[in-house]
Amino acid sequence: MKLSDSSCVDVVESPRKRTFSLPQMELSTSNTLQLPGQDPISPLLAPPQSQLSATQSADRPTLHSQQQHPLHKQSRSSSWFTANNIVPVRPKTANLKQSLTLDEQLGLLKNPSSSSSKPKPPPQSQFSVLHAAAVSGDKLGLQKLVAANFCDINLQDKFGRTPLTFAVLGDFPECAETLLKNGGSAQIADRSGRTPLHWAAHHGHFSCLKLLLTHCKKQNLHWGVPDQGGVTVLHLATRRPEQKCLPVVLKHLNSSNIGIDAQDKNNRTPLHWAASQGSFEYVKILLKHGAQVQAIDVEGKTPLHWIASCSESTGNANRDPVKTIKMLVEASNGAPLINCQDYEGRIPLHLGM
């Protein structure tokens, strides 16, 4: 390195390497280093040259023979500002927020501490090979997996459904029986609050429904728990056109903790559900077991209101609204059921027009 008379610092390397020149510096008579108009060390943080006072200019660091060039000390440039009581001008937070989108700003307001942290990955699905074997009806593969203790037999996927639930959804009673014999639970509910019994009644899978009811009776298990909507297995058994599900549920009703007039969150009983479907046989069976004809739901409607709003028979032998209305009127025993008004002042005749 050589200091020339023109106060220019030149660095020249070998002919094979490139040659470059450092910015020019002025060397005063007092052996004080004078910086150019804009600070080459930290142009973003340094204040303008016009704002520096004469005292601050006189306190600049001096250049010694063994001292390196200031450009080689960029990592310690902030110490010069601290020694001279100069506060660096930093960008304001408001300016940073203006460059963010609305969703990003709302995210910073909700959780400011996690603004710089990486987003957490979504939870992994717990769908296992055991679930796949159950829903596909692979009884032999399921038996091998259970015997090898491949995973928890009651493992739940991201919807809270166990392998037993998948066997019921696929209507594979043999797979469901294998799981029950090896510790599968018939009482584990998914995120909607439904157990395998709920899904068997919902889809009308009679073989699985009968198997689960028999298992609960042997194990002395209460299966009448409602889902998140207050719907029980008895409610769901009335919505299927098959006439097998409801009688087998009523046969095991004593082993549950629900009654014949169990209400969902809309205060509707199984008789309301059966009447809304126009099911003559189901209404007849429920009345035989003591269902209340004058039960009122959240809208003030009786089962007669629902059957009156039901359409005419469409060829289904189990669907006969006219016969069902006659049966409900006769079961009322002279009670004012025909002229009973709902909360909007409507009688069943209004809904039947």
Of 275 and 54, the structure prediction assigns the larger pLDDT to 275
Give the whole-angstrom CA distance, residue 71 versus residue 92.
Answer: 28
Give the whole-angstrom CA distance, residue 145 versus residue 155.
Answer: 13
| pLDDT for residue 45 | 46
How large is the average pLDDT for residues 254-259? 79
Give the whole-angstrom CA distance, residue 252 versus residue 137.
Answer: 27
| 319 pLDDT more than 80 | no
Of 177 and 122, the structure prediction assigns the larger pLDDT to 177
| pLDDT for residue 125 | 54
In this prediction the pTM is 0.62
| pLDDT for residue 83 | 66
CATH 1.25.40.20-classified regions of the chain: 128-232, 260-353
- Share the mean pLDDT of the chain: 75
| pLDDT for residue 35 | 43
- The topology (CATH level 3) of 128-232 is 1.25.40
Query: What pLDDT, in 10s, does the model give residues 189-207?
Result: 999 999 999 999 999 999 9
Give the whole-angstrom CA distance, residue 287 versus residue 297.
Answer: 17
Give the whole-angstrom CA distance, residue 198 versus residue 233.
Answer: 5
How many residues belong to the chain? 353
Of 315 and 175, the structure prediction assigns the larger pLDDT to 175
| 315 pLDDT more than 90 | no
| pLDDT for residue 195 | 95
Q: Determine which of 31-35, 182-186, 263-267, 273-277 has the lowest per-residue pLDDT on average.
A: 31-35
| 101 pLDDT more than 60 | no
For Cα atoms 337, 339, 343, give the angle at the middle one, nearest 5 degrees. Answer: 95
Cβ-based neighbours of 23, under 8 Å, separated by 6 or more: 36, 40, 71
Name the class of domain 260-353.
mainly alpha
| 86 pLDDT more than 90 | no
For Cα atoms 87, 90, 95, give the angle at the middle one, nearest 5 degrees. Answer: 150
| 317 pLDDT more than 70 | no
Query: What pLDDT, in 10s, does the model give residues 37-51?
Result: 444 444 444 445 544
DSSP codes, 139-158: HHHHHHHHHTT-S-TT---T
Confidence of residue 57 (pLDDT cuts 50, 70, 90): very low
Question: H helices of 162-258, where?
Answer: 163-169, 173-181, 196-203, 206-218, 233-237, 245-251
CA atoms within 13 A on the CB side of 327: 21
Give backbone dihedrals phi and psi of 55, rounded to 5 degrees, phi first. Answer: -65, -40
Confidence of residue 320 (pLDDT cuts 50, 70, 90): confident
Of 332 and 91, the structure prediction assigns the larger pLDDT to 332
| 294 pLDDT more than 50 | yes
Confidence of residue 227 (pLDDT cuts 50, 70, 90): very high
CB 167 within 8 A of CB 135: yes
| pLDDT for residue 200 | 95
- Which sign does the torsion angle of CA 332, 334, 337, 340 carry? negative
Give the whole-angstrom CA distance, residue 163 versus residue 129.
Answer: 9
| pLDDT for residue 323 | 87
| 11 pLDDT more than 60 | no
- Which sign does the torsion angle of CA 188, 192, 193, 197 carry? negative
| pLDDT for residue 88 | 58
How large is the average pLDDT for residues 216-243? 89
How large is the average pLDDT for residues 90-105? 50
CB 130 within 8 A of CB 155: yes
